[in-house]
């Protein structure tokens, strides 16, 4: 779909006319130290939430802070709802990742630094930047029309980077109405700054902790080596059995519920992958997938099992000839429709337990932080509107992609809202989200604003 870019102009002009004020407000938002994982930041999260609530009210919308038992969330919108108009639920979060290692930051993480087109700060991209362009799009429309073209519901939570543990319960227990026709998770991104793309789904996730214990104390590998079963060996032998030489996961039943791509998906998803560009960005070759699947197929439509962490004995400078009492691994599985996280967790745990060698005690724990896989339809109004809005902003056809990542709360939100779900956003791999020197750009604030604005206009037309 090609489109004229003229329809983005109102939003671009609004941004340019109000640039200084908007940037100053964005920077004010960024200065709140809203690290949800750090208990000491609780006050900052609360202050940020209150600031955000007032900010939304000043735009002319109704906003309410909901207590969750953790960091509060905001639900806002333009009541009273007009039943003739579709209802659009927009999801963002105001909490951010921790800032460690602080020494690697070139400027203080909570003092935004504007360098050229880029803004450096924790949360600049993920997700305060994306939240801010959503609010700015609404501001632009409200300034022009004193109304919005659709019924908007804003859900802005404070625990996304910490597992969203309280949000879903709160929505349910307090019977907060988030019913909608379309749900946009504005926490996604593009693969490249000049390639518009709507994200049609994400993978699910289940995580496990595996502890192999061989003795009550660390043992000398000379005196005891050969006598005892080294937990490091047990762990590598057990974990090595998770995949065969073709990269296929060997856990019985693991692939049973994997749904093949539909005709639409197979035709519409863009699996283009530039090996050289990837190597330049990450220093890695795309050799991790199963035989028969390309680099992005392996990351998007196939499930994985990844050892995220392994540790046993001493692996630092020098050498300690020890047989550790225990070795530990952290494993995550990324899942695709229609795999069930709990079921996969059990299958993997049972499989691992069956590999335990004699003399080793294996403890496998299926952890929390579960996320179901999500795949949305290209044919839905929600998807089509997003694709058209992107196409108008970029002046070129919009692609359809997936993400291999997981947004655990999204499936629950889709279910609770009854809405068609779509992931969108302007994050880029080079934003350093979750890393030192996180950044976003003024250009993308403008583009994001115009995309959200046009999206709502299209849906309300």
Residues 348-367, interacting with its own copies (CB under 8 A):
357-360, 367
Other CB atoms within 10 A of residue 93 CB: 29
Mark residue 353 as left, alpha or beta (left: phi above 0; alpha: psi -120 to 50; beta: remaining): alpha
Query: Shortest approach of its own copies to residue 88 CB, angstroms?
Result: 26
CA distances from 377 to 101, 269, 381, 428, 452 (A): 40, 11, 9, 23, 19
Per CB under 8 A, 266 contacts its own copies = no
Considering only 325, 340, 412, 442, the residue that binds its own copies (CB under 8 A) is: 325
Q: DSSP string covering 236-301, please?
A: HHHHHTTB-TTS-B-STTTTTTPPPPPHHHHHHB-----HHHHHHHHS--S--S-TT--HHHHHHT
Both tokens of 180, joined, read: 């909608």
Segment near its own copies (CB under 8 A), from 44-52, 323-331, 345-353, 444-452?
323-331
Tokens of 254: 């693991």
Stretch that binds its own copies, among 78-86, 129-137, 326-334, 412-420 (CB under 8 A): 326-334
Q: Which residue has the tokens 């997938």?
A: 289
Looking only at residues 98 through 117 of this chain, which bind its own copies when binding is defined by CB under 8 A?
none
Which run of H or E residues covers position 412? helix 408-417
Pairing verdict, β 151-157 and 87-93: parallel
Written as six digits, the tokens of 31 are 């200065």
Q: Confirm or reject binding of residue 302 to its own copies (CB under 8 A).
A: yes
**Contact criterion met (CB below 8 Å) for 93 and 70:** no
Task: Please pick, from the candidates 7, 248, 257, 330, the single residue that binds its own copies as defined by CB under 8 A.
Answer: 330
**In the complex, what is the shortest distance from the CB of residue 332 to its own copies, in angstroms, rounded to a whole number?**
5
H-helix or E-strand spanning residue 57? helix 42-59
Q: Binding pattern to its own copies, positions 386-415, x when CB under 8 A? A: -----------------xxxx---------
Considering only residues 120 to 159 of the shown chain, the ones binding its own copies according to CB under 8 A are none
User: Does 327 help bind its own copies (rule: CB under 8 A)?
Assistant: yes
Start-to-end CA distance of the chain, whole Å, equals: 18
Query: How buried is 246 (Cβ within 10 angstroms: 0-12 exposed, 13-18 middle, 19+ buried)?
Result: exposed
User: Does the footprint of its own copies cover residue 60 (CB under 8 A)?
Assistant: no
Alpha helices in 337-403 (DSSP H): 341-354, 381-394
Q: Of 414-433, which residues contact its own copies (CB under 8 A)?
A: 429
CA-CA distances (angstroms) from residue 189 to 94, 257, 429, 440?
17, 28, 8, 11
Tokens of 140: 């632009």
Name which of 297 and 380 has its Cβ closer to its own copies. Answer: 297
Nearer to its own copies, 128 or 191 (CB): 191
Taking CB under 8 A as the criterion, the residue among 299, 416, 455, 456 binding its own copies is 299
The 216-255 site mask, x for binding its own copies (CB under 8 A), equals xx-xxxxxxxxxxxx-xx-xxx-xxx-x------------
Q: Looking at beta carbons only, is 60 or 286 nearer to its own copies?
A: 286
Part in contact with its own copies (CB under 8 A); list of ranges 83-91, 278-286, 373-381, 388-396: 278-286
Does 284 help bind its own copies (rule: CB under 8 A)? yes
Q: Is 46 in the site for its own copies (CB under 8 A)?
A: no
Is residue 39 a contact residue for its own copies (CB under 8 A)? no
Among 80, 116, 260, 316, binds its own copies (CB under 8 A): 316
CA–CA separation, 66 vs 155, rounded Å? Answer: 10
Interface residue with its own copies among 179, 309, 395, 418 (CB under 8 A) is 309
CB-nearer residue toward its own copies: 123 or 373: 373
Q: Which part of the chain contacts its own copies (CB under 8 A), choosing from 23-31, 50-58, 168-176, 294-302? A: 294-302
């Amino acid at each position: 779909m090609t489109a004229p870019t003229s329809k983005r102009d109102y939003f671009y002009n609004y941004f340019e006319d109000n640039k200084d004020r908007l940037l100053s407000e964005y920077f004010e938002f960024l200065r709140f130290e809203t690290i949800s994982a750090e208990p000491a930041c609780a006050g900052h999260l609360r202050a940020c939430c209150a600031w955000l609530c007032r900010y939304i009210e000043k735009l002319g919308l109704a906003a309410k802070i909901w207590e969750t038992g953790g960091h509060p969330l905001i639900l806002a919108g333009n009541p009273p709802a007009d039943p003739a108009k579709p209802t659009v639920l927009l999801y963002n979060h105001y909490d951010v990742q921790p800032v460690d290692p602080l020494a690697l930051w070139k400027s203080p993480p909570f003092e935004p630094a504007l360098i050229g087109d880029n803004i450096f700060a924790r949360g600049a991209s993920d997700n305060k930047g994306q939240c801010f362009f959503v609010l700015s799009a609404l501001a632009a429309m409200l300034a022009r029309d004193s109304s919005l073209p659709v019924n908007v519901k804003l859900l802005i939570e404070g625990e996304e980077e910490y597992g969203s543990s309280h949000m879903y319960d709160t929505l349910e227990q307090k019977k907060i109405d988030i019913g909608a026709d379309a749900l946009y998770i504005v926490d996604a991104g593009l693969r490249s700054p000049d390639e518009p793309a709507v994200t049609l789904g994400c993978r699910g996730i289940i995580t496990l902790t595996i502890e192999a214990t061989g003795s009550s104390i660390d043992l000398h590998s000379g005196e005891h080596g050969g006598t005892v079963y080294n937990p490091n060996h047990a762990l590598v032998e057990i974990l090595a059995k998770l995949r065969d030489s073709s990269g296929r996961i060997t856990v019985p039943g693991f692939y049973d519920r994997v749904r093949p791509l539909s005709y639409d998906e197979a035709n519409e998803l863009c699996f283009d992958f530039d090996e050289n560009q990837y190597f330049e960005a990450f220093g890695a070759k795309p050799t991790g997938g199963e035989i028969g699947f390309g680099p992005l197929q392996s990351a998007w439509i196939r499930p994985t099992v990844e050892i995220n962490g392994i540790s046993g004995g001493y692996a630092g400078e020098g050498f300690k000839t020890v047989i550790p009492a225990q070795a530990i691994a952290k494993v995550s599985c990324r899942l695709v429709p229609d795999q069930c996280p709990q079921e996969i967790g059990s299958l993997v745990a049972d499989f691992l337990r069956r590999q335990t060698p004699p003399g080793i005690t294996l403890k496998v724990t299926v952890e929390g932080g579960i996320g179901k896989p999500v795949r949305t339809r290209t044919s839905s109004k929600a998807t089509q509107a997003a694709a058209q809005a992107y196409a108008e902003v970029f002046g070129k056809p919009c692609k359809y992609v997936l993400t291999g990542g997981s947004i655990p709360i999204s499936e629950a939100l889709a279910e609770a809202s009854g809405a068609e779900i779509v992931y969108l956003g302007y994050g880029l791999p080079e934003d350093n989200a979750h890393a030192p020197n996180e950044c976003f750009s003024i250009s993308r604030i403008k583009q994001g604003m115009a995309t959200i604005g046009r999206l709502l206009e299209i849906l309300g037309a």
